[in-house]
Amino acid sequence: MKSILKIALGIIAALGGFLDIGDIVFNTQAGALFRYDLLWAVALGTLGIAVYAEMCGRVAAVTGRPVFDVIRMRLGFGLGLAALIASTAVNLLTVAAELGGLAIVLQLLFDAEFSLFVVLAAIGLVIVVALLPFGGIERLFGYCGLLMIVFVATAINQGPDWGAVAHGFIPSFSSSTLYLYFVVGVFAAALMPYEVHFYSSGAVEEHWDESSLMENRLNAIIGYALGGVLACSLVVVSGYLFHPLGVDPADLGTAALPVQNAYGETGLLLALGGIMFCVGGAAVDSSFSASYNLAQFLGWEWGRYRGPKKAPRFTASWLVFLFLAMLVVLSGINPVEITEYSVVFAVVALPMTYLPVLLIAGDRSFMGDHANGPVSRTLGWAYFALILVLATAALPLLLATNGGGG
């Protein structure tokens, strides 16, 4: 009985931690620009992260190898180093985006100088990480991230044309480069690499083994599916209110506006609170991922569970990454812009970290009976092909649409 409760709580934490600033920015913009037409891309991305995360979690549980251990082993030093450099750059951008987003939410709540909130946010994250064990950190951000359910409530409250919403789940194509850019963006925001770097390392942090495989599968199937519902609600809520008005949500505060419109101040506070915890949690996850990857690649001792004394280089690198990200935000670049770059570059780097895991997950000499079954194999390879296409198209589309500006 205890394990059912534990698994359920894990799923809830996965659900609450599903969204980050990339999802919020891209899904809100997608709804405003294209109403419900991109819901299929959100669903496709959600399934993709579920497949990828399940594989990474399974590999980590069975072999004890998180993603960058797999990468170093499978790609060797040279290629692995290239993957490390690319991933670190992307993760740093992501941390900066999340940190900037966190500062924006704090500013919306407390209205003081933005740079002050950037520093406070960074300090706050360090304090939270220092005080709580790994599981506690995940639960804090995961449970509080559930506040985002207010967006689902808002969508229902708005009473959109559900037929049109359902129609949005049928893939449609347009020659509009802006549309294609958002297909890539919405998908990529759902499949950010740091999520699986973190998830697989987290499996080791929580000492997963073969008995955790059921939990891993349920996290992926139920947790992420429900997370996809949250992501879709962002599109619906924005599409219903903003599309008819022609609003282009260029800033983070606009994402909460539909909730304020429906539920007043309470709704607004729930929405902003939810965004704060989602983005804050993602800042921790992405910064940890940068350190995990570095330490795992080089063979250092690593993990929150080891503590700063036993894993000093890992801990120091985490602080350095957080500090560097803080500098990027303080440089004055708009956090929403940083977000867009982080998502686009992430999908370009994605094939490098995806393929080694896919190969190991299907390799019986490593995984034994737990190697990819027909479903995981088919989906795994199908998504790899899709990711290659998107990775190739991402940068040209970014340039062609002038960064999503149209």
Which residues form the interface with another protein (CB under 8 A)?
Answer: 63-65, 69, 72-73, 76-78, 80-81, 107-111, 241-242, 245-248, 250-251, 253-254, 256-257, 260-261, 263-265, 268-269, 272, 296, 298-302, 308-313, 315-316
Nearest distance from residue 321's CB to another protein, in Å?
15
| Distance from C-alpha of 204 to C-alpha of 328, rounded to nearest angstrom | 31
Angle between the 177-190 and 374-400 helix axes, to the nearest 10 degrees? 130
Nearest distance from residue 279's CB to another protein, in Å?
16
Sequence-separated (6 or more) residues with CB below 8 Å from residue 118: 99, 100, 103, 326, 329, 330
Cβ proximity of 274 and 281 under 8 Å? no
Nearest distance from residue 86's CB to another protein, in Å?
15
Identify the three-state secondary structure at position 36: coil
Per DSSP, which regions of 109-231 are E strands?
none
Torsion of CA 350, 351, 352, 354, to 10 degrees: 80
Q: Which tokens go with 370?
A: 């737990």
Q: Which tokens go with 309?
A: 């004394």
Nearest distance from residue 171's CB to another protein, in Å?
28
Estimate the share of the chain in helix, then strand, then coil, as percent rounded to the nearest 5.
Answer: 85, 0, 15
- Count, residues in the chain: 406
72 vs 139 by CB, closer to another protein: 72
171 vs 264 by CB, closer to another protein: 264
Nearest distance from residue 18's CB to another protein, in Å?
24
40 vs 318 by CB, closer to another protein: 318
Identify the three-state secondary structure at position 404: coil
204 vs 222 by CB, closer to another protein: 204
Closest CA to 29 of 177, 166, 178: 178
164 vs 298 by CB, closer to another protein: 298
Nearest distance from residue 138's CB to another protein, in Å?
22
76 vs 136 by CB, closer to another protein: 76
| Distance from C-alpha of 387 to C-alpha of 270, rounded to nearest angstrom | 34
Q: Which tokens go with 305?
A: 């569970």
Sequence-separated (6 or more) residues with CB below 8 Å from residue 123: none
218 vs 333 by CB, closer to another protein: 333
What is the b/e burial string over 338-352, where b = at least 16 CB atoms within 10 angstroms of the residue's CB?
A: bbbbbbbbbbbbbbb
46 vs 401 by CB, closer to another protein: 401
Would you tell me how many other CB atoms lie within 10 Å of the CB of residue 115?
13
2 vs 265 by CB, closer to another protein: 265
